[in-house]
Structure 1
Amino acid sequence: MTEKNKNSHELEPGEKYGFGVRHVQVILMFICLSVAYIMRVNMSVAIVAMTDKSSTWENIQIFDWDKKTQDVILSSFFWGYMVMQIPAGQLAHRYGAKTLLVVAMTANGLISLIIPWAVNLGGWKVVCACRALQGLTQASMFPCMHTLVSKWIPNSERSRLSNFAFSGTPVGTIVGMPLSSILASTSWGWPWIFYVIGFIGILTGVMWFFLGADSPAKHTSITKEEKSYIENALGNVEAEKAPKTPWKSIFTSLPFLALAVAHVGCNWGFTTLLVETPSYLKNALGIDMRRSGMLSALPYIGMWIGSVLLSFISDYLVNKEIFSPTVSRKVFNSIGTWIPALGLIILGYIPPGYEIAAVSMIICIVAVSSGMNMGYMMNNIDLAPNFAGTLISITNCVANGFGILAPITVGMIVVNDNDPKEWRSVFMINAGILFVTNLFFIVFGTSRKQSWNEPIQNNDIELNGDLEKDIEEEATMLKGNKIAEE
């Protein structure tokens, strides 16, 4: 067996090693993200129960908060979430993801437990403070997840296993909304939303403490065979000290800038779709998706199903060398942006009275948008495994900043909520942003590991050389496929 064939065999995930500790880590990531999103969305249900003047439960306190106050409470989570993004990425890089996740989940759980007591003590302002603190701690979620994926998951398994971990976000939303509704409808009332979910958060932190690890080298019960398999496949060498972050190289890297642009476009599109589209359906088309818990959950269910299917397809195409990793990232990011862009344009022309067509289009758009998980989301790890958490923290901070502008832009364009033409303009603009940002990613993006990923080479960066080599690699692969077909 040649050296090349030997290495190729080592990268085949199921032939020798099968289910292992790396899968347990992925399951922990999935649980962590699911619980984090349950704690993130529970307030949208809790605040309805907290202000429900028609409640018949005499032992449950009800608050007289107007719409403006409620909106401030709902937005307070993201105050801390945005502020802490980049610091959280550095903490994960320097001190490890496990410790940060244990602290984040435990702290989120404890804060959730005290919210019912805090609201009686200081009213809505204290609730805002609690939610902002939860946002601060949850800012570490994606930097930690990307850091762990870069240490635990071989390239040949990356799309499907990392996608399973990241699918905790829609699953958490699917579970969190009805769970909160059920708890609020009991005689115990809305406080039990925070008690039950807070306990689950603390339990998740305990699970991470006993079962999680920053890397195979730091796991106490992993077999030598699996540890060797992962480290050989990734080429990872456990450093005694975290390498210094090459800030200048990162911000002057054209592939990273392409990744950041893609993240901004995707986040803008997704924010507009999930935050503003329900208002469009209700006001312009007379369809209230919030009237049914199941109906409001359908887009997220579609997203979860779509992400599972597309992740297996992505890994298959890369492992069979039909696509290079770079081509795969660009193709699936295009699926997750350009098809939804077309869907938004179609949605803008669906007339009132076509409820099934409109809701079906929303579900399809959200389901296909999951292709982004195999696109720009994985590209953070491709470019610099040693700094994957830092990269996602930077792009997530910028993308969420632009995401705040999305509803503001809608408010400037849509003067009359009942006018489909004004909403059509919103969807056209949104589709244009998705198209242009993904085009930038296609032209300038790459999955080639950057020179500044290695500490020794932090000051040795050749952007044009990386792009030229990547283009040459893809051309060689396409030429080889053509010869094989002939």
Structure 2
Amino acid sequence: MLRRPGEYEPPIGKLWTRQESRIWTIVMFTGTCVLYASRAALPICAATVAKEFNWNKSDSGTVLSCFFWGYALTQLFAGPMADSVGGENILPYSTLAWTILTFFTPQLFDFAVWTNQPLFFLLLVRVLTGIGQAFHMPSMASMVSRHLTASDKGRVFGIVLAGSHCGTVLVGAFGSILLEKAGWRALFQFCGIVSLLWCWCLRWCLDHGRSRRISPTSEDDEMLKKSGVESHIVKKTLAVPWSALFKHPAFWAAAIAQYTGANAYFTMFNWLPSYFHEEFPTAMGFVYNVVPSSAVVVTSLIAPYIASRLMSTGRSTTATRKIMECASLLGVAACLMLVPLMSSFPMALTIFTMAMASRGLHHGGVSVNPHDFAPNHTGSVFGIFNACGAITGFVGVFLAGHILEASDNNWSLVYLVTAAQCVAGALVYALLGTANKII
């Protein structure tokens, strides 16, 4: 299929060899790790920052959630852009942008206080950071789709996504120490430096990988098609059939499951540090910032292998996706329903650790559905999926802040509402979900 005159064509690459696949899995995993480490920095020190700048719960919820305003909306075109020009061409620049913003966040927050409209400037900084990070996951999804066979995509991308939880654990561990010893400003600068190191590593890998890029022959195209990977020219000139996708009930079932699960995760992700800080003030921040997130790291890493094991026993891909996603959503819901009964720090830590562990099973379910639905447009579809999840960042997190403000810090109400949504998401996906190709 020929290109239109004047149309830009991204560099074309072969399937990754086994060694390259391992290297890129590690690189993308660590990239997702540092991405979420920088994202978790503000939630971890939110109580400290709020005290310094005199924020109430509504203010904290607004600042925490506005990151997702830019993040969610940018997802809508970040995916198609990644499929069009290549995720490899986007990642170095988008990573550098949010890395710089992360490093200078303390200075930007201080500058905001000196302006006539401090809240507006704070929101602007967080929105721009969200826009910069929005290109990360769709770009990686597009890269995985183009360079791996159909049988490897779900497993590798599930591992890559698990880096998000690993980053949360690392920043929870080191961040708690930095927060206590050096203050919250040092935490952002630490995340910025680590992110800059990964940006350099990414650039090095891309430069050394370009030597393998060649123009595909007809034999290459045939090999790619047999392997479940279309050539860049085929993917480049075919428009995404959005109408067929949006009319399919399985897409909306997956989108609802993605939304409800992400709502639970982001509510815990953003508010758990504040919850433990207020409900159990004598508890060690290092413990409650690390233990729950450590559980989700473990389950998210093994979830792709559990899914592969289920399919090897004869279960269909659709049945496997439903088992993994429903186990995740219902597990989270069951744990959050126990929040009103929690009376001690060990009990609370155990329940939220189990909830986070249940969330990790999602990486064998809906999180890899974009590869099932649209193998030739994975970046674009993943962008839509990620937007559905990211919406909860500014709806769910923002709403939680207002519920807490209006109910005199009724944390049980926040988590019961979250649990009810998870049950609804599980029911919808169990009835309508699929892993079949849609477009």
Q: Give TM class, smaller chain.
A: 0.7 to 0.9
Change (3 A) 1:446 1:23: same
Q: Which residue pairs with 2:343 in the alignment? A: 352
**Counterpart code for 1:447:** A
After superposition, give the CA deviation of every residue in 1:102-128 in whole Å (9 maximum; x if it has no partner).
111111222234445545555455454
Q: Give me the whole-angstrom Cα distance separating, in 2, the residues matched to 1:65 and 1:157.
A: 50
Return the match for 1:338 from 326, 330, 344. Answer: 330
Question: What is the aligned partner in structure 2 of residue 78 from structure 1?
Answer: 68
What residue is the counterpart of 2:197 in the other structure?
203
Measured in 2, the distance between the counterparts of 1:37 and 1:162 equals 16
Contact 2:299 2:360 in 1 (8 A): yes
One of 128, 131, 137 as aligned partner of 1:136: 131
Structure 1 contact 163–374 (Cα < 8 Å) conserved = yes
Whether 1:165 and 2:160 are equivalent positions in the alignment is: yes
Give the C-alpha shift of residue 448 in structure 1. 1.3
- Contact kept, 8 Å, 2:276 with 2:283, in 1: the verdict is no
- Distance, in Å, in 1 between the alignment partners of 2:188 and 2:273 is 26
Q: Separation in 2 of the partners of 1:199 and 1:386?
A: 36
Report the equivalent of 2:25: 26
CA contact (8 A) 1:217 1:238 kept: no
Change in Cα spacing, 1:227 to 1:363, as seen in structure 2 (3 Å) is: farther
**Cα separation, 2, equivalents of 1:256 and 1:200:** 37
Q: 1:313 aligns with which of 306, 309, 316?
A: 306
Aligned residue number for residue 173 of structure 2: 178
Say if 2:439 is the partner of 1:448. no
Counterpart of 2:34 in structure 1 is 35
Say if 1:128 and 1:177 are closer, same or farther in 2 by CA, change over 3 A. Answer: farther
Q: Which moves more between the two structures, 190-199 or 325-334?
A: 190-199
| Residue 227 (structure 2) aligned to one of 230, 233, 237 | 233
Alignment of 1:337-486 (within 5 A): 337-345=329-337, 347-348=338-339, 350-353=341-344, 355-407=345-397, 410=400, 411-412=402-403, 416-417=407-408, 423=412, 427-450=415-438, 452=439
Greater CA drift, 203-212 or 327-336:
203-212
Contact 1:156 1:315 in 2 (8 A): no
Partner of 1:265: 260
C-alpha change, 1:441 and 1:48, in structure 2 (3 Å) is closer
CA–CA distance in structure 2, aligned partners of residues 435 and 116 of structure 1: 39
1:49-91 residue CA offsets vs partner (Å, 9 max, x unmatched) = 6677xxxxxxxxxx65444655544334223212211021121
Q: Is the 8 A contact 1:278 1:288 kept in 2?
A: no
Retained in 2: the 8 A contact 1:93–1:242? no
82, 86, 92: which one pairs with 1:102? 92
Deviations 1:412-436 (A, max 9, x none): 599545768xx2x655543332222
Q: Which runs of 5+ in 1 are unaligned?
A: 1-16, 53-62, 453-486
Distance 1:337 1:113, change over 3 A: closer
Distance 2:249 2:24 in 1: 32
Other structure's SS at 2:341 match: coil
2:204 alignment partner, SS class: helix
| Counterpart contact for 1:157–1:315, Cα < 8 Å | no
- Corresponding residue pairs, total: 412
Q: Which residue pairs with 2:141 in the alignment?
A: 146
Q: Is the 8 A contact 1:108 1:202 kept in 2?
A: no
Task: Report the residue type matching 1:27 in the other structure.
Answer: I
Q: Is the 8 A contact 1:341 1:434 kept in 2?
A: yes
1:146 Cα deviation (Å)? 1.9
* Amino acid of the structure 2 residue aligned with 1:31: T
Deviations 1:217-243 (A, max 9, x none): 98449xxxx999876432433326342
202-211 or 118-127: bigger deviation: 118-127
- Closer, same or farther: CA 219–438 of 1 in aligned 2, 3 Å: farther
Higher gyration radius (CA): 1
Supply the AA of the counterpart residue of 2:295.
Answer: G
The answer (yes or no) to whether the contact 1:158–1:315 under 8 Å persists in 2 is no
Secondary structure at 1:323 match in 2: coil
Aligned with residue 293 of structure 1, among 286, 291, 306? 286
Q: Output one character per residue of 1:131-179: Cα deviation in whole Å (capped at 9) or x when no partner.
A: 3221111011221222122223334334442222111111111112333
Task: Note the alpha carbon deviations across 1:272-318, whole angstroms, 9 max, x for none.
Answer: 444456666677xx445974212221111000111223321211222
Is 2:67–2:127's contact at 8 Å kept on the other side of the alignment?
yes
Q: CA 1:308/1:134 → structure 2, altered by over 3 Å: closer, same or farther?
A: same
| Residue-by-residue CA offset, 1:352-390 (whole Å, 9 max, x unaligned) | 24x433321221121022111111111111000222222
Of 331-340 and 128-137, deviating more is: 128-137
CA distance in 2, matches of 1:138, 1:418: 31
Is the contact made by 1:84 and 1:139 (CA closer than 8 Å) also made in structure 2? Answer: yes
User: Contact 1:217–1:227 at 8 Å: present in 2 too?
Assistant: no
The TM-score normalised by the length of structure 1 is 0.73
Once residues 430 and 119 of structure 1 are traced to their aligned partners in structure 2, the CA distance between those partners, rounded to angstroms, is 31
TM-aligned CA distance change 1:281 to 1:106, over 3 Å: closer
In structure 2, the CA distance between the partners of 1:429 and 1:191, relative to structure 1 (3 Å rule), is closer
Q: More deviation in 336-345 or 296-305? A: 336-345
Are the equivalent residues in 2 in contact too, given 1:171–1:301 (CA < 8 A)?
yes
Distance 1:248 1:194 in 2: 42
CA distance in 2, matches of 1:121, 1:418: 30
SS in 2 for 1:244: coil
Q: Return closer, same or farther for 1:228/1:329 CA change in 2, 3 Å cut-off.
A: same
Counterpart residue identity of residue 350, structure 1: L
Distance in 2 of aligned mates of 1:199 and 1:281: 28
State the distance in 1 between where 2:19 and 2:222 align.
12
Mapped contact 2:303–2:362 kept (Cα < 8 A): no
| Structure number with higher relative contact order (C-alpha < 8 Å, ≥ 6 residues apart) | 2
Do the aligned partners of residues 198 and 256 (structure 1) sit closer, same or farther apart at CA in structure 2, a change above 3 Å counting? same
Rounded to whole Å, the distance in 1 between the matches of 2:355 and 2:107 is: 41
Decide which moves more: 410-419 or 321-330: 410-419
CA distance in 2, matches of 1:235, 1:401: 30
| TM-aligned CA distance change 1:113 to 1:160, over 3 Å | same
